[in-house]
Chains A and B, each alone.
Chain A
Amino acid sequence: MEFISTLLNGLSSGGTYAMIALGYTMVYGIAKMLNFAHGDVIMVGGYIMYVMMLLLSQNVFLGIAVAVVFCVLLGILVERLAYRPLRGASPLAVLITAIGVSYLFQSLALIVFKSSPKMLSVLQISGALKLGKLSVDYSTIVTLAVAAAVMTALTLFVKKTKTGRAMVAVSEDRDAAKLMGINVNFIIMITFAIGSGLAALAGVFMLMKAPSLSNTFGAMPGIKAFTAAVIGGIGSIPGAMVGGILLGVIEAISFKIPLIAPYTDAIEFSILIIILLVKPTGLLGKRRREKV
């Protein structure tokens, strides 16, 4: 029973990682860049929720909605101002710009909100579901349900809509996609919008578990989710889901074993290295056809 509840905990934090990893993987696949600042969007979303709570303490859902919308717009803005001018530039220039954007966000947050962490309980879902000996927090169940819904919706969007298929096309062959009449800039914009919105949403669930917000709030989950995306095969949407969930489950199990619990982070990154040694493209990654 203990194991099942550990597993469910792992699945729910894995779902959170997956939501963040999706942003990394989609942007990598479609815009062909590593958005180093992705994790910091989570932090920005957190602070927006914090401000919204101060302004309208009663309405949690409105606060969440405002944070998500804000981050969607932020993602679009950053892409437009910082990354689009570098389209076609060397990958290194783009990466360094993204690192710069990351520091910019963190520094701005530090200036505006100071360094002492803000305590913020976004959604308070207390209590646990008890089935015999099994006890699962409601917050875990909600996280799991939302993560599952988000992943299903995204999968359907990519497979069944015109814009979703265009994303697949751009990710596979940008020039061929242009020849179809696809506006690649628009598709990249949509990708940033979705990724940033998901990051903000993931932030809600992170705050549900650990309600302390600082300007580096997004850093560690960002790195973990990036690891998850690489484990799953960066560029692959199902890969990010699998990688995120795998990482969450491993983490939950590792936390439960006293002997190895302190080394959880090291274990996670070691798994990344092992998987990449065995399968350099990640679990579900494909080797891209090289252009002639």
Chain B
Amino acid sequence: MALLEVKDLQVYYGVIQALKGISFEVNEGEIVTLIGANGAGKTTTMQSIMGLIHPKSGEVIYDGQSIVGMPTNKIVQLGMTQVPEGRRVFSELTVYENLLMGAYINKDRSKVKSDIEEVYTLFPRLGERKGQLAGMLSGGEQQMLAMGRALMSHPKLMMLDEPSMGLAPILVSQVFDMIKHLNETGTTILLVEQNAEKALSIADRAYVMEIGEITLSGTGKELAESDKVKEAYLGG
């Protein structure tokens, strides 16, 4: 059964239709990627799923339950989280405090403490900088923090919006390795990327988005080999 099911989602910004009825699903344990050019509607899709934007029509079903119209904080409690585009760490809080915010829904303090230690093991950089204001971190470190922060809520489904944006190649590889690792340790992943090559290489399944519509879908391998995708997103 699909963990997340999006059915005919339509979203408008004023009179402009950003999503023209898109449907896709993410099964438990998968890495699914959504690729597409700037302005295709990838971020809009994620924000609608998380309840940050209210769709005009359509369904979002998580774990068998309709979540359209549910406030974002409730959706997070169901076990979903989003690493937003542009990282959006809290720059006025320290690394440690950002991780605490990630565990906002967890009332068990000692568990939160040990979770933070686990994040430091996963991202040693964060442990070294735990007392530093997040605004002072480098872009790569902020991405690590955004991911670590999202992990603190123990999500079943983690959605990442362009986690490799603006990172040096070596860091891009690290981020993708980490996404794979998280998936292998039980987190279902929905990944939005412009780095189509990398995204397709780790994805079980993929969807291609073009101006508010899903135009192609298949396994990561199929899409990586499709001429259309090669031409449009993989540089020939």
Contacts from A to B (Cβ < 8 Å): 162, 165-166, 168-169, 172-173, 175-184, 286, 289, 292
Q: A180-B104, A181-B105 are contacts. A292–B77 as well, Cβ < 8 Å? A: no
- Write the nearest CB–CB distance from B167 to chain A, whole angstroms: 16
Contact residue range for chain B?
A: 20 to 34
Give Cα A176 to B82, complex, Å.
Answer: 9
Q: Does B202 contact A (CB under 8 A)?
A: no
Contacts of A178 in B (CB 8 A): 50-52, 71-73, 76
CA distance A178 to B77 in the complex (A): 11
Could you give 5 example pairs across A and B, Cβ below 8 Å?
A165-B97, A172-B91, A179-B82, A179-B84, A286-B92
Q: Cβ of B92 and Cβ of A181 under 8 Å apart?
A: no
Chain A residues, CB < 8 A from B93: 165, 168-169
Top 8 A-B residue pairs of the complex, sorted by shortest distance between their CB atoms: A181-B105, A181-B76, A178-B72, A176-B88, A180-B104, A181-B104, A183-B73, A180-B101
Contact A168 B84 (CB under 8 A): no
**Do A176 and B84 have beta carbons less than 8 Å apart?**
yes
Bound form: Cα–Cα A50–B153 in Å: 49
Task: Return the contact of A182 from the options B73, B86, B88 (Cβ within 8 A).
Answer: B73
Of A166, A168, A175, A286, the residue contacting B104 (CB under 8 A) is A166
CB of B223 closer than 8 Å to a CB of A: no
| Distance in Å: Cβ of A186 to nearest Cβ of chain B | 9
- Mark B79-113 against chain A: 1 for CB-CB distance below 8 A, else 0: 00110111011111100010011101100000000
Taking the nearest CB of chain B, how far is it from the CB of A189, in angstroms?
A: 14
Q: Give the residues in chain B near A165, CB-CB below 8 Å.
A: 93, 97, 100-101
A292/B85 in contact, CB under 8 A: yes
Q: Which chain A residue has the least Cβ–Cβ distance from B50?
A: A179
Q: Report the separation of the CA atoms of residues A175 and B88 in the bound assembly, to the nearest whole angstrom.
A: 9
Residues of B within 8 A of A175 (CB): 47, 52, 72, 84, 88
Rounded to whole Å, the gap between the CB of A25 and the closest CB of chain B is 14
Contact of A176 among B71, B90, B100 (CB under 8 A): B90
- Out of B50, B81, B90, B100, name the residue touching A173 (CB < 8 Å): B90
Q: Which of A172, A181, A286, A289 has the most CB of B within 10 A?
A: A181
Interface contact B92-A172, CB-CB below 8 Å: yes
- Nearest B residue to A176, CB-CB: B88
The residue that B91 contacts in the complex, of A162, A181, A183, A289, with Cβ under 8 A, is A289
Chain A residues contacting B104 (CB-CB under 8 Å) are 162, 166, 180-182
A172 contact set on B, CB distance < 8 A: 90-92
Interface centre among B77, B86, B92, B150 (most CB of A within 10 A): B92
B100 touching A181, Cβ below 8 Å: no
Q: Cβ of B101: which chain A residues have Cβ within 8 Å of it?
A: 165-166, 169, 177, 180, 182
Contact residues of B between 140 and 180, Cβ < 8 Å to A: 149-150, 153
CB-CB nearest in chain A for B81 = A179
Interface centre among B85, B101, B150 (most CB of A within 10 A): B101
Q: Is the CB of A168 within 8 A of B92?
A: yes
* A286 neighbours in B (Cβ, 8 Å): 92
A169 vs B97: C-alpha distance when bound (angstroms): 10
Taken together as a complex, chains A and B put the C-alpha atoms of A15 and B145 apart, in Å, by 38
Once the chains are docked, how many angstroms separate the CA of A183 from the CA of B75? Answer: 11
- Bound CA–CA A47/B58 (angstroms): 53
In the bound assembly, the distance between CA atoms of A162 and B101 in angstroms comes to 8
